[in-house]
């Protein structure tokens, strides 16, 4: 007779298979779907998602879950089964706590907000978007109340992306980073002329860029038998099982960085998913444990590996061979400096490794105040611009370069932004430990031998899937909780020679 | 308050969306999926299919269907609603008549048979495959009994692919065709040396073949906004809504015909699906009405258009421009003769326009006898070979070129084969009517102006989707029921000058 845990797992196969199927439909939508397919695709996705939600949040799931919890109470709490049941409980509670009426209302609000944003951004019309943003934060407040929280409403929203993390902890860490990062940026900006990256803009053959990306993915150990790379306007990574983890990239003919570093970024996400234990396939332990840890891996491979002086020694000769007209007269040091140019920018997604986190802090702080009501939506543009001036020393000329710049708020993904900066922090803290455990790491990077690093990360991070929440995982790997200091130390050490600080 | 018909339609949205989602997963599997994705893909497909079956065959569907039938009884029986409810009733009865145990047993049998066929074909081991084929025909007999039939068990199996068609009618028509076709083939085979097609075999640049295929699809009026072409080992057409109808093709470097005519064949299937009335999207009236009518359109575009002397006048200059080394010294008449070479072959899928139907008749006759028990599976190889000898004058040297040649029987798709030959017959009968209604058709073909033909076919066939069963549709279009004579008349008229008969 099957035990309670197996019965629960079996019931959830349907949910996981429906989610994977929706993933395939989404991948197709963003890569190959002809434009006429959109209307039917939206219907198909809606049907799959609502069936998945229906099966998952049904009382039958709750009953099996309760029985499975009784069963795992007799097991080692560190066992895969016990951990898996804990993850399912967390997701189940989230799924059943939200009343259907609230979910539907949110969907209506975000639908309208998205339409409004599409019209208001090009028209630079914040007044037109304002009522939608008010509705967004209002429904997010109700959502937080329905979900429940430990200390403050934002915890509920943050916890969906970063289980186990508290707003208060995050704020303390971010504030500490900010205290050092703002002056660091300022002194770099003052030495703006020290670094020239003109070589990265010009005309770069797309096929050669593609080939370079493939060879870098191969060097990273991305498994092409269990995945593939395609092109899409917004690069992403997706998985439909441990054996099928796909990445996309975009190639800009006139901007060399976009393709290469976008590929390494998604490659980092993909290495995580590809190296989750096979035992977790088709269970709730498959996948990354949090968006912060996921982003730590994408940014580790993109920045800590990809933009390191050591890896440049391996990378640059390959770049020069593929693009002799552009790089034939350069050496790897000049290339390294160019790809590490720091400059203040208005748009987060275009930001470099140093300024990136400041964009996120800004957004996080504004989200917190908007959610609590401390900041009125009407006052957002002014507050946004003031923070941009204070953190980065620049001010948007218009709201479309400011608080209207991206669609994320229209989608009500409040609580999601901080995971981007968390990724930087987690990434460097894990990176430092990697150097201790792999004393030859710098030489290996210089030789393009990324296998020891990938294997160490697999063993420490990837194989565990969702078994450990981010705070626990980081403690296990680095022997410490998340600490602010490592990130700024890393930046200071790296950028002091680049900018002659 | 929504009426009974709307309630039924709404319930079935889920089924249709799940089926479309499964279609996307299948398309992906056959085009881009990395090999590591197979295991998860099989799980996902199984889940989608079983959920679709569960919702469709539930008693709740039956109750809504009964209420919808009461509602449409008050409407014009020719109305879309009445016709749609009739189609749903037919599918519902088929879905609920099969006991779950029988479906599961069939799935087990075909799974094992497929494995056995994969091993037995290369080993030429009919004895090893025989027990599996016996089990296949045994379960097909039980399936036919469960489904019920008008005159004989084969009707039940045939009706799944060709609703409204009876075995007795099919047999009479096929026998009539055969009576003329066998001697026609014989006299062509005797003049084998009249036609040389060596020019079609050599080295043909794959990109140039691809470009030719795209330009022919464009000439046919395939809408690339609502579809796309990709490559796959076995070409197919699939649709996920009227706005997303995709084709695949295969390019053989050494065989010019495979890519071009495969593309036109799938393009014909796709024109059908793309031009179904928008009103039928996401209903049971979307899609082709039967496999026979579907095949009539693929073969009409591939053979009646693609291999016509008129279209060759438009096509050949384009072919010659893309492949000057191969065709530079030829004229369109020689090209026309080459692409219409007739020769006896052992393998159905390699057969030409004239001999193709004989392969199908052979299979249909054997299926009938195997299902009735008149022919024992043990005696199949001998019966197969005798018919090959009698119809095509050749005999397989081994069973792997004979009754083990393809996997279709392993999949228990009994009743499906005759639709291939029906396609030829329906196609020519509709083609003759097209020439009457479009007196300029030959000139239009010669100019590559395929719009009038496509529009006429859309109006006569495509737009109606599944509203009319094949026999009714053919009667409406041609003013006659299916007749055997047109097909052989067409062949005789076409091949008399080619072979100097």
Model pLDDT for residues B62-92, shown as the tens digit of each residue: 999 999 999 999 999 999 999 999 999 999 9
Interface probe, candidates B19, B21, B223, chain A, greatest A C-beta count within 10 A: B21
Mapped onto helix, strand or coil, the DSSP state of residue B239 is strand
Q: Which of A40, A223, A227 lies at the smallest CB-CB distance from B243? A: A40
Interchain CB distance below 8 Å, A17 and B44:
yes
Q: Which of A36, A43, A224 lies at the smallest CB-CB distance from B17? A: A43
For the stretch B238-288, pLDDT in tens is 999 999 999 999 999 999 999 999 999 999 999 999 999 999 999 999 999
Interface probe, candidates B22, B33, B36, B207, chain A, greatest A C-beta count within 10 A: B36
Would you put residue B480 in left (φ > 0), alpha (ψ -120 to 50) or beta? beta
Closest to A202 measured CA to CA, from A265, A257, A262, A263: A257
**pLDDT grade for A313, boundaries at 50, 70 and 90:** very high
CA-to-CA distance for A227 and A222, rounded, in angstroms?
8
Chain A environment of B244 (Cβ under 8 Å): 33-34, 36-37, 40-41
CA-to-CA distance for B473 and A11, rounded, in angstroms?
45
Report pLDDT for A349: 85
CA-to-CA distance for A25 and A48, rounded, in angstroms?
10
Neighbours of A226 (CB within 10 A): 21
Q: Looking at CA atoms only, how far is residue B279 from chain A in angstroms?
A: 13
Nearest CA in chain A to B20: A44
**Helical ranges in B276-323 per DSSP H:** 291-299, 309-322
Q: Which of B21, B226, B244 lies at the smallest CB-CB distance from A48? A: B21
Among A143, A162, A239, A266, the active-site one is A266
Interchain CB distance below 8 Å, B40 and A230:
no
State both tokens at A23: 């993933």
- Confirm if B65 and B11 have CB atoms less than 8 A apart: no
Cβ-Cβ contacts under 8 Å for B337 (sequence gap 6 or more): B195, B196, B197, B498
**pLDDT grade for B350, boundaries at 50, 70 and 90:** confident
Closest to A301 measured CA to CA, from A450, A156, A161, A176: A450
Q: Is the pLDDT of residue A484 over 70?
A: yes
Interchain CB distance below 8 Å, B40 and A14:
no
CA-to-CA distance for B465 and B290, rounded, in angstroms?
10
Nearest CA in chain B to A13: B47
Q: Which of A37, A48, A241 lies at the smallest CB-CB distance from B241? A: A37
Chain A environment of B279 (Cβ under 8 Å): none
- Which whole number is the average pLDDT over A183-198? 96
CA-to-CA distance for A71 and A50, rounded, in angstroms?
30
Neighbours of A17 (CB within 10 A): 25
Q: Which of A27, A51, A241 lies at the smallest CB-CB distance from B51? A: A51
Q: Looking at CA atoms only, how far is residue A226 from chain B in angstroms?
A: 4
How many residue pairs from chains A and B have C-beta atoms closer than 8 A?
Answer: 129
Interchain CB distance below 8 Å, A13 and B39:
no
Q: Which of A14, A40, A227 lies at the smallest CB-CB distance from B240? A: A40
Nearest CA in chain A to B50: A14
Q: Is the pLDDT of residue A12 over 70?
A: yes
**Helical ranges in B300-417 per DSSP H:** 309-322, 324-327, 332-339, 356-372, 380-392
B41 Cβ under 8 Å from any chain A Cβ: yes
Interchain CB distance below 8 Å, B230 and A282:
no
Q: Which of A14, A35, A240 lies at the smallest CB-CB distance from B40? A: A240
Chain B environment of A230 (Cβ under 8 Å): 32
Q: Which residues of B are catalytic?
A: 266
Report pLDDT for B1: 60
Strand pairing partners for A245? A239
B214 Cβ under 8 Å from any chain A Cβ: no
CA-to-CA distance for B181 and A495, rounded, in angstroms?
83
For the stretch B198-213, pLDDT in tens is 999 999 999 999 999 9
Q: Which of A21, A37, A227 lies at the smallest CB-CB distance from B244? A: A37
Q: Looking at CA atoms only, how far is residue B370 from chain A in angstroms?
A: 39
B12 Cβ under 8 Å from any chain A Cβ: no
Report pLDDT for A1: 59
Terminal-residue alpha carbon distance, chain B:
69
Q: Looking at CA atoms only, how far is residue B30 from chain A in angstroms?
A: 13
Neighbours of B191 (CB within 10 A): 14
For the stretch B137-186, pLDDT in tens is 999 999 999 999 999 999 999 999 999 999 999 999 999 999 999 999 99
Interchain CB distance below 8 Å, B36 and A227:
yes
Q: Looking at CA atoms only, how far is residue A238 from chain B in angstroms?
A: 12
Distances (CA, A) of A473 to A290, A436, A465, A478: 10, 17, 10, 9
- B245-249 vs B229-231, strand pairing mode: parallel
Neighbouring C-alpha atoms within 13 Å toward the C-beta of A233 = 4
A397 Cβ under 8 Å from any chain B Cβ: no
A232 Cβ under 8 Å from any chain B Cβ: no
Chain B environment of A224 (Cβ under 8 Å): 34
Q: Looking at CA atoms only, how far is residue A390 from chain B in angstroms?
A: 48
Interchain CB distance below 8 Å, A240 and B34:
no
Nearest CA in chain B to A24: B25
CA-to-CA distance for A263 and B82, rounded, in angstroms?
54
Scan residues 109-128 of A and list those with Cβ closer than 8 Å to B.
none
Q: Is the pLDDT of residue A81 over 90?
A: yes
Q: Is the pLDDT of residue B2 over 90?
A: no
Q: Looking at CA atoms only, how far is residue A23 from chain B in angstroms?
A: 10
Chain B environment of A40 (Cβ under 8 Å): 20, 240-244, 281-282
Q: What is the pTM of this model?
A: 0.94
B215 Cβ under 8 Å from any chain A Cβ: no
B51 Cβ under 8 Å from any chain A Cβ: yes
Scan residues 252-281 of A and list those with Cβ closer than 8 Å to B.
281
- Which whole number is the average pLDDT over A348-365? 95
Mean pLDDT over the full length of chain B: 96
Interface probe, candidates A26, A35, A36, chain B, greatest B C-beta count within 10 A: A36
Q: What percent of chain B has pLDDT over 70?
A: 100
Closest to A213 measured CA to CA, from A137, A317, A318, A112: A318
**pLDDT grade for B349, boundaries at 50, 70 and 90:** confident
**pLDDT grade for A175, boundaries at 50, 70 and 90:** very high
Chain B environment of A242 (Cβ under 8 Å): 40
Find the helix or strand (DSSP H, E) in which B142 lies. helix B126-147
Q: Which of B18, B32, B226 lies at the smallest CB-CB distance from A36? A: B226
**pLDDT grade for A495, boundaries at 50, 70 and 90:** very high
Q: Looking at CA atoms only, how far is residue B237 from chain A in angstroms?
A: 15
Chain A environment of B242 (Cβ under 8 Å): 40
Q: Looking at CA atoms only, how far is residue B211 from chain A in angstroms?
A: 18
Closest to A349 measured CA to CA, from A287, A302, A293, A405: A405
Radius of gyration of chain B (CA): 23
């Amino acid at each position: 007779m099957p035990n309670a845990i197996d019965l629960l797992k079996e019931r959830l196969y349907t949910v996981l298979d429906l989610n994977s199927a929706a993933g395939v439909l989404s991948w197709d939508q963003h890569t190959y779907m002809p434009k006429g397919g959109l209307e039917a695709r939206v219907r198909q996705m809606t049907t799959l998602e609502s069936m998945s939600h229906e099966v998952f949040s049904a009382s039958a799931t709750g009953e099996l879950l309760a029985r499975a919890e009784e069963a795992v109470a007799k097991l080692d709490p560190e066992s895969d089964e016990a951990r898996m049941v804990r993850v399912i409980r967390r997701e189940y509670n989230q799924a059943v706590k939200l009343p259907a009426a609230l979910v539907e209302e949110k969907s209506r609000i975000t639908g309208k907000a998205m339409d409004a944003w599409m019209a208001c951004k090009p028209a630079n019309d914040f007044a037109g978007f304002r009522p939608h943003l008010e509705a967004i934060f209002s429904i997010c407040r109700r959502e937080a109340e329905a979900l429940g929280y430990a200390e403050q409403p934002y915890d509920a929203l943050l916890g969906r992306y970063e289980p186990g993390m508290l707003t208060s902890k995050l704020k303390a860490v971010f504030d500490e980073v900010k205290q050092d990062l703002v002056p660091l940026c300022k002194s770099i900006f003052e030495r703006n002329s020290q670094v020239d990256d003109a070589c990265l803009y010009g005309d770069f053959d797309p096929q050669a860029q593609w080939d370079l990306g493939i060879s870098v993915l191969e060097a990273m150990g991305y498994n092409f038998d269990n995945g593939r790379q395609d092109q899409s306007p917004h690069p992403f990574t997706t998985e439909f099982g441990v054996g099928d983890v796909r990445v996309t990239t975009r190639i800009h003919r006139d901007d060399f960085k976009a393709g290469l570093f976008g590929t390494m970024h998604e490659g980092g996400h993909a290495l995580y998913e590809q190296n989750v234990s096979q035992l977790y396939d088709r269970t709730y332990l498959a996948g990354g444990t949090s968006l912060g840890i996921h982003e730590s891996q994408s940014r580790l491979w993109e920045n800590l590996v990809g933009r390191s002086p050591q890896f440049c020694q391996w990378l640059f000769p390959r770049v020069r061979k593929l693009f002799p007209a552009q790089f034939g007269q350069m050496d790897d040091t000049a290339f390294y400096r160019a790809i590490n140019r720091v400059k203040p920018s208005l748009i987060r997604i275009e930001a470099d490794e140093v300024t990136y986190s400041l964009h996120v802090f800004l957004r996080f702080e504004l989200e917190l105040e908007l959610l609590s009501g401390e900041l009125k939506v009407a006052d957002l543009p002014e507050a946004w611009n003031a923070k941009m001036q204070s953190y980065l020393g620049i001010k948007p000329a218009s709201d479309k370069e400011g608080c209207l710049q991206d669609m994320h708020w229209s989608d009500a993904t409040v609580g999601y932004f901080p995971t981007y900066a968390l990724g930087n922090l987690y990434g460097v803290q894990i990176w430092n430990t990697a150097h201790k455990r792999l004393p030859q790491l710098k030489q290996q990077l210089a030789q393009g031998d990324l296998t020891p690093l990938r294997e160490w990360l697999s063993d420490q991070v990837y194989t565990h899937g969702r078994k450990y929440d981010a705070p626990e995982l980081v403690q296990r790997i680095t022997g410490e909780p998340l600490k602010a200091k490592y990130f700024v130390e890393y930046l200071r050490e790296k950028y002091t020679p680049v900018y002659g600080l």
